[in-house]
């Protein structure tokens, strides 16, 4: 019986030596728990310590102190580790293999009979949308296709948990969407996913929770469906055709209106008010261009953590 928590990190410190007697503390007192079957986004700027955290989780490097466990077992437990799939930040593939051959190669590293191997490779090519390219050599693959092979490779052993290091990096908007769909699909299959990114939108769109990391310290964990920790949602209404007359709403202080060229952008943190603004836009005959929502808190925390980080270099 697997327990509720998939990964648990407690009191992790990690330093690297950089030069004679010099050490830099890269991960500081990190506590983190990932629950079974959640999508956890690990958000942080370059150099925040995301990859280092993943390497620690996988036991590729050792913490100075602290404890890491998967479903209550230490990382050194090989049986447990076999339940974890990993997509490295810069995956390397034998470029002269076809997509199918590459996955068959990875499958051959595990104890699987031929029939299962064949089925698994077929299912994975399907899952990542590469069935049409099964016979194409990887050297002819685009960045997006290689990322998909990377995910498929991480899943070849049917792991319960996937650790994906920057799976969306270098992808165009369509590629990012495909990757999000693949991740959501994995979650629907009962898997737990932790992935890193430095782009807020990637994390916000699909995660159940997000952890914001800056300079090796977890700033905050935000649960997307929890109005308290998710903080204020801001609503932004963009329209054209004149400035919105706010007189019907003038007693409300939580409205900001800015004009950018022909566009008029009205924002608020109050959902009801957003609805009333939309009604006014319609009533006043303005053209609605977009209506969007975003979690202000994640952006605020993230931007603040990056600003704080930059101050240190001055």
Ligand X SMILES: Nc1ncnc2c1ncn2[C@@H]1O[C@H](COP(=O)(O)OP(=O)(O)O)[C@@H](O)[C@H]1O
Integer Cα distance of 57 and 55 in angstroms: 5
**At its nearest, how many Å lie between Mg ion and the CB of residue 114?**
37
Torsion of the alpha carbons at 3, 5, 6 and 7, rounded to the nearest 10: -130
Measured at the CA of 115, the angle between CA 113 and CA 118, to 5 degrees, comes to: 105
- The minimum distance between CB 47 and Mg ion, in angstroms, equals 8
Judged by beta carbon, residue 30 or residue 286, the one nearer ligand X is 30
- Does residue 51 belong to the site contacting Mg ion (CB under 5 A)? yes
Neighbours of 13 (CB within 10 A): 15
Instruction: State the binding partner of 46 from Mg ion, ligand X, none, CB within 5 to 8 A by kind.
Output: ligand X
Q: Which is nearer to Mg ion, 24 or 271 (CB)?
A: 24
The contact mask relative to ligand X for 7-46 (x = CB under 6 A, - = no) is: ---------x-x-------x-----------------x-x
Burial (Cβ within 10 Å: 0-12, 13-18, ≥19) of residue 296: middle
Q: Residue 68 contacts by C-beta under 8 Å, 6 or more apart in sequence?
A: 7, 8, 9, 10, 12, 56, 57, 59, 74, 75
Nearer to Mg ion, 51 or 192 (CB): 51
Query: How many residues in the shown chain lie near ligand X by CB under 6 A?
Result: 11
Can you count the helices (H) and strands (E) in the chain?
10, 14
Give the chain's end-to-end CA distance (angstroms, integer).
Answer: 52
- C-beta closer to ligand X: residue 42 or 141: 42
Q: Which residues of 99-127 are buried (b: 16+ CB within 10 A; e: fewer)?
A: bbbbbbebbeeeebeeeebeebbeebbeb
Which is nearest to 148 in space by CA: 103, 211, 193? Answer: 103
Residue 49: contacted member of ligand X, Mg ion, none (CB under 5 to 8 Å, by partner type): ligand X
Q: Which partner in ligand X, Mg ion, none is near 26 (CB below 5 to 8 A by kind)?
A: ligand X
Of residues 233-262, those binding Mg ion (CB under 5 A): none
CA dist., res. 252 & res. 268, Å (int) = 10
Cα–Cα separations (whole angstroms), residue 170 to 146, 175, 254: 11, 9, 38
Binding mask 50-89 for ligand X (x = CB under 6 A): xxx-------------------------------------
Edge-to-edge strand ranges of the sheet holding 192-197: 84-87, 161-164, 192-197, 39-44, 209-214, 217-223
Judged by beta carbon, residue 62 or residue 282, the one nearer ligand X is: 62
Our finding on whether 48 is near ligand X (CB under 6 A) is yes
Query: Between residues 46 and 247, which has the closer beta carbon with respect to ligand X?
Result: 46
Q: How far is the CB of 210 from Mg ion (least distance, A)?
A: 16
Q: Which does 52 bind (CB under 5 to 8 A by kind): ligand X, Mg ion, none?
A: ligand X
- Is there binding between residue 170 and ligand X (CB under 6 A)? no
What is the smallest separation between the CB atom of 17 and ligand X, expressed in angstroms? 7
Which residue stretch of 82-90, 97-105, 139-147, 179-187 sits at the interface with Mg ion (rule: CB under 5 A)? 82-90
For ligand X, the binding residue among 2, 38, 47, 66 (CB under 6 A) is 47
SS3 percent helix, strand, coil of the chain, rounded to 5, is: 35, 30, 35
Residues near ligand X (CB under 6 A)? 16, 18, 26, 44, 46-52
Which residues contact Mg ion (rule: CB under 5 A)? Answer: 50-51, 89
């Amino acid at each position: 019986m697997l327990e509720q928590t998939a990964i648990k990190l407690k009191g992790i410190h990690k330093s690297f030596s950089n030069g004679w007697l010099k050490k830099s503390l890269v991960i500081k007192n990190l506590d983190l728990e990932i629950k079974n079957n959640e999508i956890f986004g690990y958000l942080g700027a370059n150099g925040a310590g995301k990859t280092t955290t993943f390497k620690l989780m996988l036991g590729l490097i050792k913490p100075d102190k602290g404890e890491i466990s998967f479903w209550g077992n230490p990382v050194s437990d090989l049986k447990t580790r076999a339940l974890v799939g990993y997509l490295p930040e810069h995956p390397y593939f034998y470029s002269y293999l076809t997509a199918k051959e590459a996955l068959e190669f990875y499958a051959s590293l595990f104890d699987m009979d031929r029939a299962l191997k064949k089925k698994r490779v077929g299912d994975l090519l399907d899952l990542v949308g590469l069935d049409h390219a099964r016979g194409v050599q990887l050297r002819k693959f685009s960045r997006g296709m290689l990322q998909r092979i990377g995910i498929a490779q991480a899943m070849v052993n049917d792991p319960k948990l996937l650790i994906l290091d920057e799976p969306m990096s270098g992808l165009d908007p369509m590629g990012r969407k495909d990757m999000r769909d693949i991740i959501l699909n994995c979650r629907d299959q009962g898997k737990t996913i932790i992935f890193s990114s430095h782009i807020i939108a990637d994390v916000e769109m699909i995660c159940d929770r997000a952890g914001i990391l800056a300079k090796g310290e977890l700033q905050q964990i935000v649960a997307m469906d929890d109005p308290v920790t998710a903080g204020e949602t801001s609503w932004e209404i963009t329209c054209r055709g004149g400035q919105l007359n706010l007189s019907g709403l003038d007693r409300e202080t939580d409205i900001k209106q800015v004009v950018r060229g022909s566009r008029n952008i009205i924002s608020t943190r109050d959902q009801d008010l957003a609805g009333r603004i939309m009604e006014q836009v319609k009533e006043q005959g303005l053209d609605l261009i977009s209506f969007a929502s975003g979690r202000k808190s994640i952006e605020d925390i993230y931007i603040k953590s990056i600003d704080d980080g930059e101050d240190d270099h001055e």
